[in-house]
Amino acid sequence: MDAEMIKNMQADIMSGWKIERNFRNSDTCGMEINMDDMERMDKVEKLREKTGVTYEDAKAALDACGWDMLDAVVYLEKLGKVKAPEETHYSTQAPNPPMTQYAQQYRDYQNTQSSADKKTFSDYINAFFRWCADTLRKGNENYLCAEKTGSQMIRLPITVFVILLVVGFWPVVIVMLIGLFMGFRYSIQGKDIKDSTVDSVNDFMDKAADKADDIREDIFNGGNNSDR
């Protein structure tokens, strides 16, 4: 066998070895590609099970985060696809001691104030009607009294007196003035009369009655002196 034939045989052998190596490398690359696809599909399924999102959302999140599971979960949380887990705080400090009676009362007061600030329109309506009912009750239980020579002549509920003032203010005022000059004294009496304003009104009516008595006496004394 000459040298040229041996050289050709060696070339054929080397060519066949390269073809076989290339074929093996192509199979290996295909296997690696297939293995990558399987691994990614497995991550998509795991992400779906963990978060409950759709296949498309899980794949898009992994693809956007370089197929990192943790980053993909955070990515989905930012998009609002997944509810973020509630934070749990741990502390090595001892629990707070029980509140004192003053602290408890202060907290109750704050809760009362906050609830009072949240009144609705119906609450205001109910409060108004309660005020009207309480005012009407006090008006029926307290009276405008007219006395003469120590005897009580008239005992009129405040509610009725107010209605008379509304209906005919001037006639009522004129009648009361005439009563003063006839020796009547007016006062407000009742079990709820504990207000300084009511005391001031009674003092004013007493002074008005004293003034009317003085005027009446001056008129009578003047008439008597003229007769003499």
Q: Report DSSP state, residue 144.
A: E
Q: For 195-223, how does the pLDDT look when each residue is reduced to its tens digit (9 = 90+)?
A: 677 788 888 988 999 998 888 888 877 65
In the predicted model, is pLDDT for residue 84 greater than 60? no
48 CB neighbour count, 10 Å cutoff: 15
Q: For 122-149, how does the pLDDT look when each residue is reduced to its tens digit (9 = 90+)?
A: 888 988 899 888 888 888 889 999 999 8
The more confident residue out of 204 and 6 is 204
The more confident residue out of 18 and 217 is 217
Q: Are strands 184-190 and 151-157 parallel, antiparallel or unpaired?
A: unpaired
Which amino acid would we find at residue 181?
A: F
- Whole-model pTM? 0.42
Domains observed in the chain: 7-79 (1.10.8.10), 137-227 (no CATH)
Alpha carbons 56 and 48: distance in angstroms, whole number: 10
141 CB neighbour count, 10 Å cutoff: 14
